Structure 1
Amino acid sequence: MFKYLLPLALAVASWSAVAQAKVGVEFAIVKTGKITTLKGMMVSGGGFTTKVDGNFSAILVKHGQTHFLFDSGLGTQVAKQYRQDMPWWARAFFRYEDPVVPVRTQLDQAGIPPIERIFLSHAHWDHASGLGDFPEAVVWASPEELNVVEHAAPGLGGSWPSQVSLKSIRWQALEFKPNPHKGFDRSIDVFADGSVVLVPMFGHTPGSIGMFVTVDSGRRFFFCGDAVWRADALKDGSPKFWPASLIVDKDREQTQHTIEQMRELVRQDPALVVVPAHDDTVQAGLGYFPLWVK
């Protein structure tokens, strides 16, 4: 199914050449949609009286003159994808609200150059929906997650054929090196300058990954995908609301281990900003595209 286009070493060498000179690093949160729900549905112990927004976002990173995406948000075909592959019994909770403003639409309107690379945190429907909107991009994912993609099927907890089985998607396997980073035992230094580092954080899915970004000002951010849905879950290590976790977390024990890793990470580096993929409170505090965090 997959045509791996470039050996990882060759790709890293290409990115490293860009990193030889000092370059600017910044990112923007591209919000494509949201869902309003009770906080207790997103984090265990969150209560069922307070409403919060859960975002569907992608992260646009600028490194020098290059741009790449971390996840793809809700895409131009999300309504069709949802009708085709979301089970009827799950639609009351796992849904999105209109309007949807796809990443591709926002980037084209802003005149952003074509996206050449997308790093996929994991292959769930609300992260992979927009992949087909970027046929010019190479989509990078861990080998474990590519196995999920290869066995795409309608439902929850895996990946959807309507999103990941398109022939236009150019998949490429990530190869994590045995280089510890921030408590994770393997990593990929994308530009060989420490500004963007990927780490495996399996559990929510078999091949989920996270991304560290250090911007021009020196501020540090960790994009943790769906390890937690809200950053305040890290205060006491709270998992997701248990019925949701049973459905979406492939390995609940490993997911909890990842949460504890993140708690230790924040304890050791209090200035680090953890950005879950769906946390409107954190994301709104940073601002949305076309605003850049520098």
Structure 2
Amino acid sequence: MMFKRCLLSLVLAGASWSALADAAHADVEFAIIKTGKTTALKGMMVSGGGFTTKVDGNFSAILVKHGQATFLFDSGLGSKVAEQYQQDMPWWARAFFKYENPVVPARVQLDKAGIPPIERIFLSHAHWDHASGLGDFPEAVVWAAPEELKVIEHAAPGLGGSWPSQVSLKSIRWQSLEFKPQPHKVFDRSIDVFADGSVVLVPMFGHTPGSIGMFVTVASGKRFFFCGDAVWRADALKDGSPKFWPASLIVDKDREQTQHTIEQMRELVKLDPGLVVVPAHDDTVQSALGYFPSWIK
């Protein structure tokens, strides 16, 4: 597979945003775009969660606004998800890794709300339920960690990697994130997207070789951490519970490193009790915050 990779740093590329965002005074807000959901036993989502209670799991994209600049963190389920799923999801996994209709793609919701075309997407990782909607945003540059770009370069049907039907589109313009040796909270490297501390990306390798997380501090001062799939539910952080072990064997590329990331997040919430951790699929946390077109400010 051929795709364009750029070795320029995000800091340099982000300079073009200076006309859109006042780094010192811009209002920062975000919205959770729920594109679809699934229902599963809680014990399938988190080890020790029990097998008598069902919980919803979301497929969401996060829309962040910094002044007049906007971007997405992940793309959620896209307009072609049914075709992608049929083409690349193994038959044996369909009973456990599924989505429910209706699907309302992020692009559809944004167009309906009159949001201008998104020009940048940061990908937490390249699994099917995070990258499905990338093809709906041909105007966007898609940023991913270099380790994740290697996964994308070798896309193949199945679980635990990335799907050709989603990431091999010629319309996708890939670029590489360049993390700086600048510690941020419990992480030893980071990218300060707007150079004002309001949006900070950090490496969270383990679930996939190039998974990333995102800190967002909104205009009110409230702090949020979007942790992708390091955990599927925030309550896993109470005792450091991993995913249900058969699921973890399938989806976590490096289980030991994933557990290390969980312990980092536990330390993180101890150091910053006011921080709201938002896993990519946690309906309980996301529903409490509300969904697009509502904004968290």
By the TM > 0.5 criterion, same fold?
yes
Q: Give the length in aligned residue pairs.
A: 294
Output the amino acid matched with 1:64: G
Aligned to 2:286: 283
Aligned to 2:3: 2
User: Does the 8 A contact of 2:17 with 2:69 survive in 1?
Assistant: no
Aligned to 1:189: 192
Other structure's SS at 1:265 match: helix
Output the amino acid matched with 2:201: L
Structure 1 stretches lacking a partner, 5+ long: none
Aligned to 2:13: 11
Aligned to 2:121: 118
Classify 1:25/1:151 alpha carbon distance in 2 versus 1 (closer, same or farther; 3 Å): same
Other structure's SS at 2:247 match: helix
Deviation string, structure 1 residues 28-78 (Cα, Å, up to 9, x no partner): 000000001110000000000111000000100011011100000000000
| TM-score (normalizing by structure 2) | 0.97
User: Does the 8 A contact of 1:77 with 1:129 survive in 2?
Assistant: yes
Structure 2 stretches lacking a partner, 5+ long: none
Matched, 1:130 2:164: no
Output the amino acid matched with 1:10: L
Percent identity over paired residues: 86
Mapped to 2, the partners of 1:32 and 1:43 lie a distance apart of 22
Mapped to 1, the partners of 2:17 and 2:258 lie a distance apart of 31
Choose the corresponding residue for 1:38, options 37, 41, 45. 41
Other structure's SS at 2:262 match: helix
Other structure's SS at 1:80 match: helix
Aligned to 1:81: 84
How many angstroms does 1:16 deviate by?
5.0
User: Does the 8 A contact of 2:41 with 2:52 survive in 1?
Assistant: yes
User: Does the 8 A contact of 1:187 with 1:200 survive in 2?
Assistant: yes
Aligned to 1:142: 145
Output the amino acid matched with 1:171: W
Aligned to 1:251: 254
Superposition CA RMSD, Å: 1.0
Deviation string, structure 1 residues 93-150 (Cα, Å, up to 9, x no partner): 0000000000000000000011010000000000000000000000000000000000
User: Does the 8 A contact of 1:201 with 1:210 survive in 2?
Assistant: yes
How many angstroms does 1:13 deviate by?
2.6
Mapped to 1, the partners of 2:83 and 2:23 lie a distance apart of 44
